[in-house]
Each structure stands twice: as C-alpha cells, then as structure tokens.
Amino acid sequence: MMSPSHLIDRTVDHVRSALSGEGSGHDWWHVYRVWKMAQRIGQAEAADRLVVELAALLHDIADWKSQGGDSTVGPKVAGDWLRSLDVEPGVIEHVCRIIADISFKGAGVEQPGLSLEGQVVQDADRLDAMGAIGIARALAYGGSKGRLIYDPAVKPEEHRSAQSYLKSGGTTVNHFYEKLLLLKDRMNTATGRTIAARRHQFMEDYLRRFFEEWEGG
C-alpha cells in the first residue's frame, strides 16, 4: 500500500475531479470542509486518522439522495476506488461502513451504531449543515430542487422513513425544523457538541430575523 499521505493526496484529487461543478451544496468544497473538520475532531477525540480522512473525503462520492435513495452506491464507489489503490481490506471495510451509515435520513429514522471514527465523520458532516454555511447550503439545495423558501401554510414534517425524507417537497425554512435545528442534540463527540452549540445559536438568530422581516419588520 502507498504511504498514507500519498493515499490522501490521490483521494483528494479524485474527489475534487468527481464533484466538480456540483451545485446543490454537496460539492468538493463541502467535502473539503468536512475533511478539515473531521481532522480537527478526530485529533481531539484520538480517532484513527487514516480512516477518518478517507471516510470524510469519500462520504459524498455518490450521495444516496442523488442515487434515488440507494445507499449502497456510495460505499461501492468508495470501495472500488480504495481497492484500486491497494488499501488494506480492513480499512476499506471500515470506511465503507461509515459512508453507509452516517447520513441523516429523517428525524424519525433510527441511526445505526457508529465506530468512533464514524462518529467523528458524522459530526463533521453535520456541522457543515449548521451555522452560516449550513444556511447557505440549505438555500442552494432548495434552489436546486425548485423549492419555495417559505410558505406559512406548509408545515414541517417528522419523516419516519428514508423514502419519506427523500421525497419531501417542503420549503427550505421547513428543512431547518425537519433537520438542521435537530443536529445540535445529535452530536456524538464532546468536540462536536461544543462547535455545534455556536452554530445552532446562529441559525436560531437567523430564523428570528427571517420571520421579523417576513412580516415587514
């Protein structure tokens, strides 16, 4: 197997190329931010650095939402890439399990158990859905799907299945209540919880201002 640093460099180039031009908020720069945050959390939580970095870099290589809800595609694509680089089978299996299990699939959908490394990558991914960047990504994603920003007559839902969540056509503001504001209390690590608290507060402040302006304030 090539050195860890060379393996990471090759994977960075691969993912950057694969996600070039993606406009829904699941682009290379989302992956970049998750990768950097995962390094930060992983170091603080003493997680396996190679597994954390590879899983963070490959977690959206074929996002389940863009694959019609098929959550097996992402792990398969990631696994094929890692096997092409002769990565150890145990590392490949661990990385692919993380990719299969970390996604949020609805407020009422049970979350699979995660390894420490999976918890780190999930926290990093969820933190990128919070705060100022999380707001920008929510608006970008909603726009890419042709969704309204807000409609007072359309109420948030608690999705009880991944398919219900995938097919949801609610507004972007509803997405805050269906996912983004729930993430603070679903952080796995102490480091993630500390960072999430600030980002959560920013989203609450934003929504307060949004509703004031909605009514002419």
Cβ atoms within 10 Å, residue 70: 12
pLDDT number for residue 112? 82
pLDDT digits (tens, 9 = 90+) for 195-210: 999 999 999 999 999 9
R_g of the chain computed on alpha carbons? 17
pLDDT number for residue 73? 84
Q: In this model, does residue 69 exceed pLDDT 70?
A: no
Distant-in-sequence, close-in-space partners of 160: CB < 8 Å, separation ≥ 6: 106, 108, 109
CATH number at residue 188: 1.10.3210.50
Mean pLDDT of the chain: 90
pLDDT number for residue 8? 97
pLDDT number for residue 26? 81
Q: Give the structural domain span for 129.
A: 4-214
**Of 175 and 108, more confident:** 175
pLDDT number for residue 68? 52
CA separation, residue 173 to residues 34, 132, 151 (Å): 23, 14, 8
The verdict on pTM exceeding 0.85 is yes
pLDDT class of 164 with cuts at 50, 70, 90: low
Average pLDDT over residues 152-163: 77
pLDDT number for residue 169? 73
Write the DSSP assignment of 13-52 as a string of letters: HHHHHHTTT--SS-SHHHHHHHHHHHHHHHHHHT--HHHH
pLDDT number for residue 217? 81
pLDDT digits (tens, 9 = 90+) for 6-44: 999 999 999 999 988 776 678 999 999 999 999 999 999
Structure-token pair, residue 138: 């929510």
pLDDT digits (tens, 9 = 90+) for 90-120: 999 999 999 999 887 666 667 888 999 999 9
pLDDT number for residue 116? 98
Number of domains in the chain: 1
Specify whether the CB–CB gap between 66 and 26 falls below 8 A: yes
